[in-house]
């Protein structure tokens, strides 16, 4: 199998994004845009042997961000903003393989399946240059494919440029496959665009056509896959598509989602089979949730949290950097931050963990079978022992021993006589909770 070098163009600032952040680092469901492109390339081990990212605007920042997610990625720097053709020229001395795949770092919807099929198509047809195209119903920012009378690709007409022939609804994805020699020998023939002062890689198609070479066109089954991001409106559109991909994947694995239009789950979230998710649930990246849980409506699970099997987190609950054990019930209003909750704990309505003292975030530990009464405030750092009970409205500032009952502001242990008189009532509550 022939080896390939993949070149990812990521040097642009993205001025239409109206942001100082490099375009390829804008967030999409918990990951930067370029992450999704590189993830698909890394998975194509059958073909891709080398990956080079061309960076420019805030290049060091972009490089550092990519290295947090991927190893063995090469980088080339485009010192001046001179267009896509100049960006490809920057990698000429670094390319190791005869076959070169060129992609844009701002098109995160492209899939391994499409890239693999495109590479196989290019090898099978033996084109020295080929591209991925798609049929669209509406005009967008992608360049239009122009063909001659025999159906051969003649040129690519970028948006805003004068047409050099009949403009069809076939658009260029910006993804190309080249023979290395053909690519770099013809890059130097590209002339600077007078209007924008840049060298466009798309011009190489017309140069090759005039030299007698044919450019192959692999038509993608989905026009969504080739969507690029140039504006915040584009990002919003792509975000919705990516969100549905994530939800479809979870539902295929046995997760029940009541309303996909109001459920927001980021990339990298893992959810066990049998879990039921109600509307307006927000789950951030890298959250892990067990099976047979009940989540929502209106909850927010923050990055890094862990929810164990058969746990119920109900209306208006937020969990942040916390571990919630199996069979925990927290059904109404509450906040857990930097908290570890062991198994079979009941957390009443309105319970808040006050984890921030103005300088640092502090830890809270709630041991198994504890009963946290409604409107309890746990002022971290604090520990609630196994089987302990806090009365409604308690402000807990000190550790609570196992099976101890505390109440008040600040919370204090109840005297044995009071505990004895209230024991039946407390036990009734606990037994009732266990039957739910």
pLDDT of residue 416: 66
Query: Residue 263 in 3-state DSSP?
Result: strand
How deeply is 221 buried, as exposed, middle or buried, from its count of CB atoms within 10 A (0-12, 13-18, 19+)? Answer: exposed
Query: Residue 38 in 3-state DSSP?
Result: helix
Residues above pLDDT 70, as percent of the chain: 92
pLDDT of residue 142: 81
The single residue of 26, 69, 300, 332 carrying the catalytic annotation is: 332
Higher pLDDT, 436 or 100: 100
Hey, how many other C-beta atoms are within 10 angstroms of the C-beta on 126?
Answer: 9
Are the beta carbons of 202 and 171 closer than 8 angstroms? Answer: no
Average pLDDT taken over every residue of the chain: 93
pLDDT of residue 39: 98
Q: Which of 127, 64, 138, 136 is nearest to 100 (CA)?
A: 127
At residue 419 the predicted structure's pLDDT band, cuts being 50, 70 and 90, is low
Which residues 6+ apart lie within 8 Å of 75 measured at CB? 52, 53, 54, 55, 59, 63
At residue 210 the predicted structure's pLDDT band, cuts being 50, 70 and 90, is very high
CA pair distance 119, 115, nearest whole angstrom: 6
Domains along the sequence of the chain with CATH: 4-226 (3.90.550.10), 253-320 (2.160.10.10), 322-415 (2.160.10.10)
Is 159's pLDDT higher than 50? yes
Are the beta carbons of 31 and 53 closer than 8 angstroms? Answer: no
Higher pLDDT, 163 or 86: 86
Is 2's pLDDT higher than 60? yes
At residue 362 the predicted structure's pLDDT band, cuts being 50, 70 and 90, is very high
pLDDT of residue 164: 62
Query: Residue 283 in 3-state DSSP?
Result: strand
Is 241's pLDDT higher than 80? yes
At residue 161 the predicted structure's pLDDT band, cuts being 50, 70 and 90, is low
At residue 418 the predicted structure's pLDDT band, cuts being 50, 70 and 90, is low
Is 207's pLDDT higher than 80? yes
Is 431's pLDDT higher than 60? no
Query: What pLDDT digit, counting tens, does each position of 171-186 carry?
Result: 999 999 999 999 999 9
CA pair distance 33, 151, nearest whole angstrom: 35
Is 433's pLDDT higher than 60? no
Q: Which residues of 151-174 are buried (b: 16+ CB within 10 A; e: fewer)?
A: eebbbbbbeebeeeeeeeebbbbb
pLDDT of residue 415: 78
At residue 264 the predicted structure's pLDDT band, cuts being 50, 70 and 90, is very high
Is 382's pLDDT higher than 60? yes
CA pair distance 218, 137, nearest whole angstrom: 18
pLDDT of residue 428: 46
Is 165's pLDDT higher than 80? no
CA pair distance 85, 101, nearest whole angstrom: 14
Is 9's pLDDT higher than 80? yes
CA pair distance 23, 35, nearest whole angstrom: 12
Is 435's pLDDT higher than 80? no
State the average pLDDT over residues 291-306: 98
pLDDT of residue 427: 55
Examine the residue annotation and report whether 332 is marked as an active-site residue of this protein.
Answer: yes
State the average pLDDT over residues 357-370: 97
Higher pLDDT, 295 or 436: 295
pLDDT of residue 423: 53
Least confident stretch, 136-150, 278-292, 312-326: 136-150
CA pair distance 142, 130, nearest whole angstrom: 17
Q: What are the beta bridge partners of residue 55?
A: 10, 77
- Please tell me what DSSP assigns to residue 400: B
CA pair distance 51, 8, nearest whole angstrom: 8
CA pair distance 326, 345, nearest whole angstrom: 9
Is 323's pLDDT higher than 90? yes
């Amino acid at each position: 199998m022939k080896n390939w070098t993949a070149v990812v163009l990521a040097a642009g600032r993205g001025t239409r994004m109206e942001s100082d952040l490099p375009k390829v680092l804008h967030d999409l469901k918990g990951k930067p845009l370029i992450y999704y492109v590189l993830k698909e390339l890394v998975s194509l081990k059958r073909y891709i042997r080398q990956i080079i990212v061309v960076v420019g605007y805030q290049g060091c920042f972009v490089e550092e961000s990519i290295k947090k997610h991927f190893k063995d990625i090469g980088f080339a720097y485009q010192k001046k903003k001179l267009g896509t053709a100049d960006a490809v020229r920057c990698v000429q001395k670094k390319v190791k393989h005869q076959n070169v795949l060129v992609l844009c770092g701002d098109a995160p919807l492209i899939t391994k399946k499409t890239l693999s099929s495109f590479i196989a198509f290019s090898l099978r047809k033996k084109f020295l240059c080929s591209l991925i195209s798609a049929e669209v119903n509406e005009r967008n920012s992608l360049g239009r494919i122009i063909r001659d009378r025999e159906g051969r690709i003649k040129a690519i007409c970028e948006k805003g440029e004068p047409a050099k022939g009949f403009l069809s609804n076939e658009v260029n994805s910006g993804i190309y496959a080249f023979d290395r020699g053909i690519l770099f020998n013809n890059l130097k023939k590209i002339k600077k665009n007078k209007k924008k002062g840049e060298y466009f890689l798309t011009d190489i198609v017309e140069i090759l056509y005039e030299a007698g070479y044919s450019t192959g066109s692999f038509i993608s089954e989905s026009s969504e896959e080739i969507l690029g991001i140039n504006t915040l409106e584009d990002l919003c559109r792509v975000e919705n598509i990516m969100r549905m991909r994530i939800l479809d994947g979870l539902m295929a694995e046995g997760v029940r989602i009541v309303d996909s239009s109001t459920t927001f789950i980021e990339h990298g979230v893992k959810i066990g089979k049998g879990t039921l998710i109600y509307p307006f649930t927000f789950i951030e990246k890298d959250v892990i949730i067990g099976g047979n849980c009940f989540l929502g409506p209106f909850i927010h699970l923050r990055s890094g949290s862990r929810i164990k099997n058969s746990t119920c987190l109900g209306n208006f609950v937020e969990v942040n950097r916390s571990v919630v054990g199996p069979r925990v019930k927290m059904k109404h209003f509450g906040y857990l931050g930097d908290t570890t909750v062991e198994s079979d704990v009941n957390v009443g309505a309105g319970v808040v963990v006050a984890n921030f003292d103005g300088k640092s975030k502090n830890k809270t530990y709630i041991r198994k079978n504890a009963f946290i009464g409604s409107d309890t405030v746990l002022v971290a750092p604090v520990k609630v022992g196994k089987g302990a009970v806090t009365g409604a409205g308690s402000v807990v500032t000190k550790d609570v021993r196992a099976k101890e009952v505390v109440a008040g502001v600040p919370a204090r242990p109840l005297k044995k006589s009071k505990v004895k008189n209230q024991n039946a009532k407390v036990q009734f509550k606990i037994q009732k909770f266990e039957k739910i």
